Amino acid sequence: MKPCTRPRASCAESGTASRGREGLMMADNSGPLQVGQLCADVKARLEKNFARVPVIGEVTNFSKPSSGHLYFTLRDCSGVEALLAAVMYRSDAAKLRFAPANGQRLVATGNLTIYTQQGRFQLVVKALEPVGIGVRELALKQLEEKLRAEGIFDPTRKRPLPQFPERIGIVTSGTGSAIRDILEKLRERWPYAEVLVLPVPVQGERASGAIVSALKWINTLVISGGQAPDVLIVGRGGGGSEDLDAFNDEAVIRAVTDSAIPVISGVGHEDDRTLCDLAADVRALTPTDAAIKATPSRIDLLSFVADSRVRFEKAIRQRLSDAFDDLEHARSRMRPDVLSMRLDALRRRATAASDRLRGSIAGKMEKMHMTLRALASRLDAVSPLQVLARGYSLTKVLDESGEGKLVFDAAQVKAGQQLETTVARGTIRSVVA
**Residue 398 pLDDT:** 85
pLDDT at 21 over 90: no
Q: What is the pLDDT of residue 246?
A: 93
Label residue 375 by pLDDT band (50, 70, 90): confident
Report if pTM > 0.75: no
CA-nearest of 161, 150, 106, 103 to 128 is: 106
Q: What is the mean pLDDT of residues 183-195?
A: 92
Is the predicted pLDDT of residue 40 greater than 90, yes or no? no
| Average confidence (pLDDT) over 369-390 | 78
Asked if residue 13 has pLDDT above 60, the reply is no
Residue type, 211: I
Q: Are 262 and 201 in contact (CB under 8 A)?
A: no
**For position 15, what pLDDT does the model report?**
39
| Alpha-carbon distances, residue 176 vs 168, 180, 206 (angstroms) | 19, 7, 18
Mean pLDDT confidence for 33-50: 86
Residue 334: pLDDT band with limits 50, 70, 90: low
Q: What is the mean pLDDT of residues 312-331?
A: 81
Nearest alpha carbon to residue 266 among 335, 187, 177: 177
pLDDT at 24 over 70: no
270/177 Cα distance (integer angstroms): 15
- Look over the chain and give the mean of its residue pLDDT values, rounded to a whole number: 84
CB 59 within 8 A of CB 83: no
For residue 317, what pLDDT band results from cuts at 50, 70 and 90? confident
Q: Can you give the pLDDT at residue 11?
A: 33
Contacts of 1 (CB under 8 A, 6+ apart): none
Q: Give the per-residue pLDDT at 354.
A: 85
Q: Is the pLDDT of residue 184 over 50?
A: yes
pLDDT higher for 161 or 40?
161
Q: Answer whether residue 299 shows pLDDT above 60.
A: yes
- Residue 17 — very low, low, confident or very high, per pLDDT cuts 50/70/90? very low
Q: Taking Cα atoms as reference points, which of 189, 208, 222, 215 lies closest to residue 251?
A: 208
Beta strand pairing call for 263-267 and 194-199 = unpaired
pLDDT at 264: 97
> Which of 16-25, 29-38, 240-249, 258-267 is predicted with the least confidence, judged by mean pLDDT?
16-25
* 230-239, 259-268, 352-361: range with lowest mean pLDDT: 352-361
Q: What is the pLDDT of residue 415?
A: 84
Question: What local confidence, expressed as pLDDT, does residue 316 receive?
Answer: 85
For range 212-221, the mean pLDDT: 95
Mean pLDDT of 213-217: 96
In angstroms, the CA 394 to CA 148 distance is 117
Set out the domains of the chain in order of their start, with CATH numbers: 11-132 (2.40.50.140), 153-296 (3.40.50.2300), 388-431 (no CATH)
Give the model confidence (pLDDT) of 78-129 as tens digits.
Answer: 878 889 999 999 999 999 988 888 888 889 999 999 888 888 889 999 999 8
Do the beta carbons of residue 45 and residue 27 sit within 8 Å? no
Q: Closest Cα partner for 50 from 101, 123, 100, 107?
A: 123
pLDDT at 229: 96
